[in-house]
């Protein structure tokens, strides 16, 4: 990376980060030209476990996924580290582990356990003081100031908008690098949040198809004042939709022929993942003939 995520966020143009969940989705997103990627905890649950986003994923599963992604791509990755997987001490281990695995930004939320997708009902939140302690622990744990800490509050659904904004204010006072007020319900609520915070800190807008927040483009959200825009689960939803069609077609027709216009063939996939370059690299280290 020639530009760090911290430097990129210092510019006024909104940063659009698509959701990814493995090295292949990260590679395709990087090739599409995105400036940052968002490793979605929900999408890890969907794809690795075939389960809902209800706190089932573990620290090691997220860290391992992140490490595989950052080994393959150079685009900065924002990682969803849920609640930090425990108390302040657990959270410090989480931040250090995500930093070692290559995270450019670590997202931490104030939900209680069991946590769940921010657009599902039935969430709970820990106390503001407890979350502030966890955030201070996170800031102390990182080795580089270029590893950013993003504080997310889910309090709007439980305590209301004013309480959520007050929590965000307290988290900002801890020294976090960005704020995420989850599941804002209306454009008016989005504008209220931006009026309070956008001039002081990067704000993240979470776009969930079918979720509680009105889906808007990155340009529209940038005009409101948001500096980071994520579509975290869109990739998994798009892939799942295509897989439903693919498997139904294969089951019906007993061949992939009807779907081949929507697939990469063998050579196209190998080009995408860089097989020719990898083979050339292998040849470079082969033993010369005659030795």
Same structural domain, 172 and 55? yes
Looking at residue 38, what DSSP letter applies? E
Work out how many domains the chain is built from and give that number: 2
Q: Which residues contact 198 (CB under 8 A, 6 or more apart)?
A: 224, 225, 226, 227
Which pLDDT score is estimated for 198?
97
pLDDT < 70 positions in the chain: 1-3, 118, 289-291
Same structural domain, 114 and 246? no
Same structural domain, 96 and 139? yes
DSSP assignment string, 92-149: HHHHHHHHHTT-SEEEEE-B-SS---TTSS---B--HHHHHHHHHHHHHH-S-TTSEE
Which pLDDT score is estimated for 122?
72
Same structural domain, 178 and 250? no
**Which residue segment(s) compose the domain that 169 sits in?**
5-233
Same structural domain, 202 and 104? yes
- For 84-128, write each residue's pLDDT tens digit: 999 999 999 999 999 999 999 999 999 988 787 767 777 899 999
Which pLDDT score is estimated for 117?
75
CA–CA distances in Å: residue 66 to residues 5, 86, 111, 228, 242: 16, 19, 22, 20, 25
Q: Does residue 291 lie in a domain region?
A: no
Same structural domain, 224 and 252? no
Same structural domain, 44 and 106? yes
248-264 as b/e: b if 16+ CB within 10 A: ebeeeeeeeeebeeeee
Which pLDDT score is estimated for 2?
52
DSSP assignment string, 49-86: IS--SSS---HHHHHHHHHHHHHH--S-EEEE-TT-SS
Preceding peptide of 114 cis, ω within 30° = yes
CATH number at residue 199: 3.20.20.60
Same structural domain, 110 and 228? yes
DSSP assignment string, 207-262: --TTSSSPP--HHHHHHHT-SEEEETTHHHHHHHHHHHHHHHHHHHHSSSGGGGGG
Which pLDDT score is estimated for 118?
65
Which pLDDT score is estimated for 29?
98
The answer to whether the Cα torsion of 137, 123, 36, 262 is positive or negative is positive
Same structural domain, 52 and 143? yes
C-alpha 114/C-alpha 234 separation (Å) is 24
Same structural domain, 174 and 252? no
Which pLDDT score is estimated for 271?
97
Same structural domain, 262 and 180? no
Give the percent of the chain with pLDDT over 70.
Answer: 97
């Amino acid at each position: 990376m020639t530009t760090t995520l911290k430097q990129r966020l210092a510019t006024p143009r909104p940063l659009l980060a698509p959701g990814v969940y493995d090295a292949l989705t990260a590679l395709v997103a990087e090739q599409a030209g995105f400036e940052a990627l968002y490793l979605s905890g929900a999408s890890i649950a969907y794809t690795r476990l075939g389960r809902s986003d209800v706190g089932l994923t573990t620290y090691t599963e997220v860290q391992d996924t992140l490490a595989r992604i950052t080994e393959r791509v150079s685009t900065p990755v924002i990682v969803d580290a849920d609640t930090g997987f425990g108390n302040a001490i657990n959270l410090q281990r989480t931040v250090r582990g995500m930093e070692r695995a290559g995270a450019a930004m670590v997202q931490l939320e104030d939900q209680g356990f069991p946590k769940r997708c921010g657009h599902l009902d039935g969430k709970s939140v820990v106390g503001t003081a407890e979350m502030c302690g966890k955030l201070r622990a996170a800031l102390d744990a990182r080795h580089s100031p270029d590893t950013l800490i993003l504080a997310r509050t889910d309090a709007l659904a439980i305590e209301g908008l004013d309480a959520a904004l007050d929590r965000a204010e307290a988290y900002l006072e801890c020294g976090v690098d960005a704020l995420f007020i989850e599941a804002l319900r209306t454009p008016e609520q989005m504008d209220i949040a931006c009026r309070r915070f956008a001039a002081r800190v990067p704000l993240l807008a979470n776009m969930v198809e079918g979720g509680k927040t009105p889906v808007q483009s990155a340009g529209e959200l940038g005009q409101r004042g948001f500096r980071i825009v994520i579509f975290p689960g869109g990739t998994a939803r798009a892939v799942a939709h295509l897989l439903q069609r693919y498997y139904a077609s294969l089951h019906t027709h007993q061949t992939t022929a009807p779907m081949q216009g929507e697939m990469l063939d063998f050579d196209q996939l190998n080009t995408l993942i860089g097989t020719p370059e990898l083979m050339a690299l292998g040849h470079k280290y082969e033993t010369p003939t005659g030795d």
